[in-house]
Structure 1
Amino acid sequence: MNSVATVRSLQQRITEMQPLRIDDRLLPTAPGLRQLLPEGALRRGASYAVLGSQQLALALLAEASSAGSWCGVIGCPAFGAEAAAALGIALDRCVLVPHPGPGALGLAAALSEVLTVVLLRPDAPPRLGEVERFSARLREHGSALVALGDWPRAECTLRVSASRWRGLGRGHGLLEERELAVQTLDRRGAKQHIVRFTGGTVADPETSTVRRLAHR
């Protein structure tokens, strides 16, 4: 995947298979996650940072993927196909590069020209100049970035502060529900949210709560 020719070949193949993009500014987003985002959905041309949960980051891609968009997951060797499919990610439209090497940022930027949403775990903290060039590419091609880790000038930063599983009885049973405490920081300020996953998918929004953090 480090070869320029290989990347260009992949770009061409995805372009040929991907349907024409609808010129909508906002991308399909799971109802249970809309509360987390300033516009209630992922926006084309924007970047988002998720800290503390690969499951939450993948869930942000799922609705767009199930609606027909191509997505990419780069630098995530712990990616689980079964769990991703349960979230709603279409594996036949997902480009997976678990070990991109030191060129992860450049590869993600190149693939953002043909993928609708890219999930990237950077191999090193990005420099501001790299972020600005990547952002320009996202705006030009109408793609969105979800970064697993800190990302300067993100539209929204989602930080998981606590995680709790439910479902086990006295030494038996299945882990059926996961509850995440998520703090978001964006132009609206800071908020604290509860997001629930049931059976591997994002729970309905009525099961989530929101509390605005007190400003200090």
Structure 2
Amino acid sequence: MRANVRTPGAAVLGTLRAQLERTQGRRLDAPVLPVHPVLAPLLPGGGLRAGAAYALERSAALVMALMAGPSQVGAWCAAVGMPELGAEATEQAGVDLERLVLIPDPGPRWLTVAATVAEVMPVVAVRPPGRVTDAEAARLAARLRDRGSTLLVQGRWPQVEATLMLSDPAWSGLEHGHGHLTGREVTVTSGSRRWPVPRTMRIALPACGGEIAPAGQRTPSRAMPAYEERWVS
């Protein structure tokens, strides 16, 4: 005897969807800002969701790569508390400098600065100098959802859309112990509550020209401008 299985109606599905969205803090079909095609498979929805936060490895190259796509389609980006971001390296990474605001030293009120910037900037990258309480993070999350801004955090952060970590770096360009560093390949691991297992991908970050590219892709050789990489301990 076959069981009588009923398919949930539209009203039931709508209720379940609303409950899930309230739990996760943002709509599943929220608009996304485009990112480089290499990074798209590592992000839920293929881009940066409006009102969401992302926890990142403390890598200048990764921040620049994520800001490049939004800036190229006209979205303003801001970097708060990242003094190592230089104009030359940022431009080579694909970021439109006319759409970028740098606040290298926000001082002890960095969280207030980040929240204020999020009022007007679609993408805000920040490096917290210290621990953030759950209440502070919740207030900033509410501001992000209200304004539709995206937060890129170098370090740990609660209730994130995805976490991107780097591993196994391999630099190219040095031969016989001398020469110029021309590129680096890394493994990017992305974890999210939206998929059951982490996703990994090997990419050039940066490639020879300073931009992002698939691992192994050949681009014209050019020495990179120097910038600092910092890692999460």
Q: When the two structures are superposed, what TM-score results if normalisation uses the length of structure 1? A: 0.80
Contact in 2 for aligned 1:31/1:205 (Cα 8 Å): no
Q: How many pairs does the alignment contain?
A: 184
Q: Does 1:60 pair with 2:66? A: yes
Q: Does 1:192 pair with 2:203? A: no
**1:154 alignment partner AA:** V
Superposed displacement of residue 93, structure 1: 1.9
Superposed displacement of residue 125, structure 1: 1.8
Gaps of 5+ in 1: 1-23, 208-216
Superposed displacement of residue 52, structure 1: 3.5
Q: When the two structures are superposed, what TM-score results if normalisation uses the length of structure 2? A: 0.74
**2:36 alignment partner AA:** A
Superposed displacement of residue 159, structure 1: 1.2
- Kindly provide the CA deviation profile for residues 167-201 of structure 1, in whole angstroms up to 9, marking residues without a partner as x: 22224443222111222111113232212131210
Gaps of 5+ in 2: 1-29, 218-233
Instruction: Measure, in 1, the Cα distance between the counterparts of 2:122 and 2:216.
Output: 28
Superposed displacement of residue 95, structure 1: 1.2
Instruction: Select the structure that is richer in helix.
Output: 1
**1:34 alignment partner AA:** A
Deviating above 6 A after TM superposition, structure 1's stretches of 4 or more consecutive aligned residues are none
Superposed displacement of residue 38, structure 1: 1.6
Q: CA RMSD in A?
A: 1.7
Larger radius of gyration: 2
Aligned residues with identical type, % of pairs: 42
Contact in 2 for aligned 1:108/1:118 (Cα 8 Å): yes
Q: 2:48 aligns to what SS in structure 1?
A: coil
- Kindly provide the CA deviation profile for residues 60-89 of structure 1, in whole angstroms up to 9, marking residues without a partner as x: 111111221111000011111111001111
**2:203 alignment partner AA:** V
What is the match of residue 211 of structure 2?
A: 201
Q: Does 1:39 pair with 2:45? A: yes
Superposed displacement of residue 135, structure 1: 1.0
Contact in 2 for aligned 1:112/1:118 (Cα 8 Å): yes
Q: Does 1:112 pair with 2:122? A: no
What is the match of residue 82 of structure 2?
A: 76
Contact in 2 for aligned 1:32/1:205 (Cα 8 Å): no
Contact in 1 for aligned 2:57/2:165 (Cα 8 Å): yes
